[in-house]
Amino acid sequence: MDDEYKAWIENIKNRIKHSQIKASVKVNHEILDLYWNIGRDIVAKQKNVKWEEAFLATMSKDLQKTFPNMSGFSVQNLKSIRYWYKFYNFDENGLQPVSQMELIKKNN
């Protein structure tokens, strides 16, 4: 193997690694966005419909049944998603964390 090939293959490897990192960041962003929206929906339903805590157990079962290969929908995780949303949900005049992430992403 000559030096030209070694440099070329190293460049290919670096591009693959870079693409893997970018894909992971995008997936993580989408999951955070999904959890933010699920948290918002849970809070809204509990506020408007006055559902009891037991509905999280039903929601958990329904989601796990529909998505058996996907983790993250246990009752405790749904409670955590709701807590995360309530903790970081700033007043309507401020940017929410997901919006801030979009702004940062656009500026980078």
Residue 64 lies in a domain: yes
Residue 47 lies in a domain: yes
Residue 32 lies in a domain: yes
Confidence of residue 27 (pLDDT cuts 50, 70, 90): very high
Domain extent for 100: 28-107
Is the pLDDT reported for residue 92 higher than 80?
A: no
Residue 18 lies in a domain: no
* Domain total of the chain: 1
Residue 12 lies in a domain: no
Residue 6 lies in a domain: no
Confidence of residue 106 (pLDDT cuts 50, 70, 90): low
Residue 11 lies in a domain: no
Output the pLDDT for position 18: 96
Task: Identify which of 104, 101, 89 has the alpha carbon closest to the alpha carbon of residue 32.
Answer: 101
